[in-house]
Structure 1
Amino acid sequence: EDSGLYSIVIKSFDRLDFSDKLIPTKVVNPIILEEDISTLLPDVKKIIDRQMVVTYGSDRWVLEREDLLELLAFEREGRVKMTLSEAKFDAFMEEITNEVNQLPKGQVTKTDGDRVINFEITKEGREVDVAKFIDDFRNAYFGLKETLELPVNVVEGFADKEKYGIYALLGEGTSHFAGSAQSRIHNLTLAADRTNGVLVAPGATYSLNNSVGDISAATGFQTAYIIKGDRTVLGAGGGVCQTSTTLFRAILFSGLPVVMRYPHAYRVSYYEQDMGMGFDAAVFQPSWDLKFKNDTAGYVLVQTSYDLNEQSLTFKLYGTPDGRSVYIPDPVVLSQSPPPETLYQDDPTLPKGTVKQIDFAAWGANVILTRTVRRDGEVLFEDVFKSNFQPWRAIYLVGTKE
């Protein structure tokens, strides 16, 4: 019994009495008994002994027996009847809406300094018709249907573009990728293209992973080097972290709150071509993401561009300025450590005499980057971004194949 247990714990601490205590309990009688649902078991079996698929275009969400069972609940309204588990269905619906819903996209086409002269809506959005989906799903679930088409509405955006509040540049970030392999350049520009034009509603949180979508060969990404665990290995999407790093810089200079940011495991030379240590952000799906919150009165437009000749990538965030200013001092390097001794590993798949470098040495460093955001002379918030870059050894494969 919660209140009784709370009282015992508080009194025990007050008296410094740490002897064993009897936990208070109370009897809770179930509203629905086993015999109440026994007559419903044949219908339950029909519901769960099948596969149900929700479709939208080429996308499919497959519900197997266990999934269908988790969605089932019982309620008593005079007699006991079957219903959908609200918590489980809401979680399933959230998964679908996160994948399907897209705001309209826009583009700033003309500026005068930081001021926006012209802003256009370039792509319609889409949104799950939640009310219809709830009704359709309930009917399909209890009607034993095997497939259900997801109802989706087109979101055309405001007819009046002024309602978006895209008035001026809030902040921008740039990085360079000189020396990158062609596959890495392909990946970072593809990710930038997919984030370009996203409109973030007031109060909403932007996710880079959601903007980019699935990072795999199936979605157009090529194989390039990524950091996985304690090694640098080839994987789909190598180079996308250049995109997240550049966006992180734009978020910093715009004064928008950073909700999620991860540093890289070790220092990456690309990100120190134009800025100091600590101005990077790593992403690794599904858990590592870069997120920011739009805490302004209008929408925020995420706009990207890249110059393959200059080998540069730029993110610009446009919106409604509210007078905030940003102060970012130079990063503070607390300590540095040299890379471990070079490692040579025999590789029976490489011809004898062949030496191939698969990892590159980098000094370790503990770095702190701070940011202060003010408005009208008052501090809105302060950030501390910590990066613990590991010292990284060079690794060579030595061929032993005769």
Structure 2
Amino acid sequence: MAIIIVASLLLIAAVGWGVVWNYALQKTVPAEVDAGGIQIGGMPVEEALALLGQYENSLLQRTITIHNEAMKADKKQWTAAELGYIAKFQGAREAIAKLDEGEIWERAVYRYHFQKSYTLTQSWNPAEFDAAVRKQWSWIEKNETKNASRTITDDDKVVYEPHVDAYRLDIGKLTATLDAWVIVKKEQIGKPVEQAFEAELPVAAVHPEVTLEMLKDEGVERKIYEFSTDFRTSAEGRAHNVTVTALALNDWELAPNEVFDYGKLIARAEELYEYREAPVILNGKLVPGIGGGICQVSSTLYNAVLRTGLEIVERRNHSLPVAYLPIGQDATYAGGAINFRFKNTTGKHLIIRTAVEDRKLTVKLFGTMNENERYDIESVTLKTIAPTVQEKSSTRLSPGQKVTVEKGKEGYIVETFRTLVRDGNVVSRDRVSRDTYKSQPTLVEVGAMNNSGAPSPTPAPPSRTAPPLLEDGI
């Protein structure tokens, strides 16, 4: 009986060992094993390893093609592996290889406890993609921006030169899109994946600080008006002062609603040039001084401004009429006392240009103005003021003798009107100024009387002293 029991146990052991032997020496992957979702359980080991290798390789060989839309034949293709992409079923190969390692019992135990799931580890290097694209199309970034420019030609044409854009590769967004494609999502592993990625080369235009559109939006379309005065009879000093003031004014630009300040122009001219001696107006009389002639520029500019309908903020006439303009149409300047200011009410930018040629000063305004509109200027003398007579006793003359040493000049009260004409029809007529030009007295010398007691000439009443007012000079 004992022998039978022993024999039975040996038989059972032999059968069990045979089972263990067969189990341990299987050439298949243990059941229910998957790699990244790919079912390889029960597959022959070699086939499973080949399947995993083929899948990894298929991911590595996916192609990325970037093309330059501006040049149809300009494109470049890389594999995912060339851009640093790595795909590996982490630990799967090593685990499968260990199925054939160790003693029978160790193999059986290892197989029994075999890990059921393995992940697909993926990574790539966006920096390599960035570098590869920039190397391929480095020539695109070898350019610089250039501002648009506006030129006013000698024949008063406004000419625009377009800006030049620069171009830069804008790879950031493309890299993010490629990242979402190259890294296979977990739920897609084991399924057919898109083998090719294709995209347009991302090129961003870089605009300069000043574009053609920006310049044109400023509205400097054409010459809208010009006005001229001459100074042919002026001495060299005065001619110089007119010229350098005009040079300082040339190319002065005003933004919409900006106020022009003649005082700032004079300050600029003094920085750039040196004014010379020429007659100025001091308390209503012409005397030698520095800067005489600067008001011919302000007066010429004033007439151009009047005839374009701009708003006059501050302006006064000279105390004496000027020879180069009708009364009522001049604009004087006295530092710290009298200024000439106007506002750019065109709604667009305004450029002031000046020209001096053959002792003739021309002020030109460039900007925007309706071509069917014009402004007419009319000055009306309301009153003529007769000069007074001032007598002064003189011992040089015979008693009672009278000699006129300076002839007086009449004064005037003048009103100036601006009329807007549109399509040939009067739209409005507004008074822009009421000016007084004081008369200049006639100066008479009278011989002093002898000692007979005859009355002496009646002296002129003393004039009230007033702070000195220097016009048309600095």
TM-score by length of 2: 0.45
Secondary structure in 2 matching 1:330: strand
Match of 2:210 among 158, 162, 172: 158
State how 1:40-79 maps to structure 2 within 5 Å: none
Q: Which whole-Å deviations, capped at 9, do the CAs of 1:61-101 have from their partners, x for residues lacking one? A: xxxxxxxxxxxxxxxxxxxxxxxxxxxxxxxxxxxxxxxxx
Q: CA deviation at 1:325?
A: 2.6
Indicate the residue corresponding to 1:289 in structure 2: 339
Match of 2:416 among 369, 386, 389: 369
- In structure 2, stretches of 5+ residues that fail to align are 1-148, 162-207, 395-404, 446-474
Q: CA deviation at 1:175?
A: 0.9
Match of 1:259 among 299, 313, 323: 313
Report if aligned partners of 1:106, 1:198 keep a CA contact under 8 Å in 2: no
1:334 aligns with 2:388: no
C-alpha distance 233-322 of structure 1, shift in aligned 2 (>3 A): same
Q: Which amino acid aligns with 1:277?
A: I
Report if aligned partners of 1:223, 1:238 keep a CA contact under 8 Å in 2: yes
Q: CA deviation at 1:178?
A: 2.3
Report if aligned partners of 2:254, 2:351 keep a CA contact under 8 Å in 1: yes
Which of 246-255 and 332-341 deviates more? 332-341
CA RMSD of aligned residues (A): 3.5
Q: Whole-Å Cα distance in 1 between the matches of residues 390 and 241 of structure 2?
A: 30
1:235 aligns with 2:283: no
Q: CA deviation at 1:320?
A: 1.4
Secondary structure in 1 matching 2:324: helix
Q: CA deviation at 1:329?
A: 4.9
Q: Whole-Å Cα distance in 2 between the matches of residues 395 and 218 of structure 1?
A: 42
Q: Whole-Å Cα distance in 1 between the matches of residues 356 and 362 of structure 2?
A: 6
Q: Which whole-Å deviations, capped at 9, do the CAs of 1:112-169 have from their partners, x for residues lacking one? A: 7xxx34268xxxxxxxxxxxxxxxxxxxxxxxxxxxxxxxxxxx98343324321112
Q: Whole-Å Cα distance in 2 between the matches of residues 345 and 186 of structure 1?
A: 41
Q: Whole-Å Cα distance in 2 between the matches of residues 157 and 221 of structure 1?
A: 38
Indicate the residue corresponding to 1:125 in structure 2: none
State how 1:2-401 maps to structure 2 within 5 Å: 108-109=152-153, 111=155, 116-118=157-159, 158-160=210-212, 161-213=215-267, 219-271=273-325, 276-308=326-358, 311-322=359-370, 325-341=373-389, 361-373=408-420, 379=427, 382-393=430-441
Report if aligned partners of 1:168, 1:318 keep a CA contact under 8 Å in 2: yes
Q: Which amino acid aligns with 1:301?
A: I
Secondary structure in 1 matching 2:153: strand
Which of 286-295 and 194-203 deviates more? 286-295
Q: Whole-Å Cα distance in 1 between the matches of residues 365 and 444 of structure 2?
A: 42
Q: Whole-Å Cα distance in 2 between the matches of residues 206 and 229 of structure 1?
A: 26
Q: Which amino acid aligns with 2:343?
A: K
Q: Which whole-Å deviations, capped at 9, do the CAs of 1:174-197 have from their partners, x for residues lacking one? A: 111121111011111111100110
Q: CA deviation at 1:171?
A: 1.7
Report if aligned partners of 1:253, 1:326 keep a CA contact under 8 Å in 2: yes
Q: Which whole-Å deviations, capped at 9, do the CAs of 1:343-397 have from their partners, x for residues lacking one? A: 7899xxxxxxxxxx9x885321111110033668795783421120111247799
Which of 192-201 and 388-397 deviates more? 388-397
Q: Whole-Å Cα distance in 2 between the matches of residues 345 and 201 of structure 1?
A: 59
C-alpha distance 363-378 of structure 1, shift in aligned 2 (>3 A): closer
Q: Which amino acid aligns with 2:242?
A: L
TM-score by length of 1: 0.52
Indicate the residue corresponding to 2:5 in structure 1: none
Report if aligned partners of 2:415, 2:431 keep a CA contact under 8 Å in 1: no
Report if aligned partners of 2:391, 2:443 keep a CA contact under 8 Å in 1: yes
Q: Which amino acid aligns with 2:433?
A: F
Q: CA deviation at 1:295?
A: 1.2
Indicate the residue corresponding to 1:62 in structure 2: none
Q: Whole-Å Cα distance in 2 between the matches of residues 184 and 207 of structure 1?
A: 22
Q: Which amino acid aligns with 1:108?
A: I
Q: Which amino acid aligns with 2:320?
A: Y
Q: Whole-Å Cα distance in 2 between the matches of residues 214 and 177 of structure 1?
A: 22
Equivalenced residue count is 239
